[in-house]
């Protein structure tokens, strides 16, 4: 008959493996509990594989998520939804293109030699085109906000550095990083079309006149009769 092993008969190797498994389960449960307490989990619409899906997002994983969840003394978020969306959009392109600060600090678009003509349809060629397009979007965005504030976008939005680290590296006074970041994010959101300029809003609210095809506007309505001025 086979010999049944009791705890007393088990070797140290078997007991060690069981102890490690038990400890792994315990630490995993504790880790899940810790993450559940410290994550900022929200449901968000994100584009995955070319389609929109509702996914669970941990906004605490990025400095922008942390700033978005905090409020100033007046009860307003430290960054707006448009600023947050702009920063996350830049980060998505940055990570997809596998960029690094060394690449983006050159402030130059891709060389013409890198803009190869489209190869025959294939997954590899399509992916390469998408990566090049993402790089170009990042470069255009950084050029649009200007070199004065583009660096802080790369540091905080893309490289996930904290505000304090960015302030120290740039030699800024305390709390100056938040102001610079807000300016940079506003410019970025305007570049992405998330924020409209006041001039654009006023143009949309401008006077409109409906007329027939042969109608031509004139300035007669704004002309004053000199005799009216003499009478007054």
What tens-digit pLDDT sequence spans the chain (232 residues)?
555 555 455 555 555 555 555 555 554 544 444 444 444 555 555 444 455 555 445 555 688 988 998 888 888 999 999 999 999 999 999 998 887 555 544 444 333 344 444 444 457 777 788 889 999 999 999 999 999 999 999 999 998 898 899 999 999 998 899 999 999 999 999 999 998 765 555 445 554 555 566 655 565 554 555 555 555 4
H/E stretch holding 41: strand 41-48
The number of distinct structural domains making up the chain is 1
Give the model's pLDDT for residue 128: 84
Give the model's pLDDT for residue 112: 38
Cα atoms in the Cβ-side hemisphere of radius 13 Å centred on 129: 11
Structure tokens at 167: 């302030």
- The reported pTM is 0.55
Report how far residue 8's alpha carbon sits from residue 11's, in angstroms, rounded to the nearest whole number: 8
Domain membership flag for residue 119: yes
Domain membership flag for residue 143: yes
Give the model's pLDDT for residue 47: 45
Domain membership flag for residue 209: no
Domain membership flag for residue 111: yes
**Location of structure tokens 């307490």:** 37
Domain membership flag for residue 156: yes
Give the model's pLDDT for residue 97: 86
Domain membership flag for residue 132: yes
Domain range for residue 168?
Answer: 60-196
Do residues 142 and 44 touch, judged by C-beta distance below 8 A?
A: no
Neighbours of 106 (CB within 10 A): 8
Domain membership flag for residue 23: no
Give the model's pLDDT for residue 70: 87
Give the model's pLDDT for residue 98: 80
Backbone angles phi, psi at 217, to 5 degrees: -70, 150
Give the model's pLDDT for residue 201: 53
Backbone angles phi, psi at 45, to 5 degrees: -85, 115
Domain membership flag for residue 208: no
Own/partner contacts of 108-117, CB < 8 Å, gap of 24 or more, are 108/139, 109/136, 109/139, 109/140, 110/135, 110/136, 110/139
Backbone angles phi, psi at 170, to 5 degrees: -95, -5
């Amino acid at each position: 008959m086979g010999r049944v092993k009791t705890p007393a008969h088990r070797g140290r190797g078997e007991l060690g493996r069981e102890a490690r498994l038990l400890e792994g389960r315990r630490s995993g449960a504790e880790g899940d509990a810790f993450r559940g307490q410290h994550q900022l989990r929200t449901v968000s619409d994100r584009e995955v594989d070319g389609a929109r899906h509702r996914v669970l997002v941990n906004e605490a994983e990025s400095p922008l998520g942390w700033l978005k969840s905090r409020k100033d003394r007046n009860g307003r978020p430290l960054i707006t939804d448009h600023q947050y969306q702009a920063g996350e959009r830049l980060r998505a392109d940055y990570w997809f293109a596998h960029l690094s600060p060394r690449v983006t600090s050159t402030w130059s678009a891709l060389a013409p030699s890198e803009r190869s003509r489209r190869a025959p349809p294939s997954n590899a060629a399509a992916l390469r085109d998408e990566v090049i397009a993402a790089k170009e979007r990042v470069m255009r965005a950084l050029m649009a906000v200007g070199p004065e504030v583009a660096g802080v976008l790369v540091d905080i939005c893309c490289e996930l550095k904290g505000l304090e680290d960015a302030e120290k590296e740039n030699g800024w006074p305390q709390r100056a990083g938040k102001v610079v970041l807000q300016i940079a994010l506003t410019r970025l959101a305007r570049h992405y079309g998330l924020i409209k300029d006041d001039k654009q809003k006023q143009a949309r609210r401008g006077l409109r006149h409906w007329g027939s095809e042969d109608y031509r506007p004139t300035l007669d309505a704004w002309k004053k009769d000199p005799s009216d001025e003499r009478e007054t």
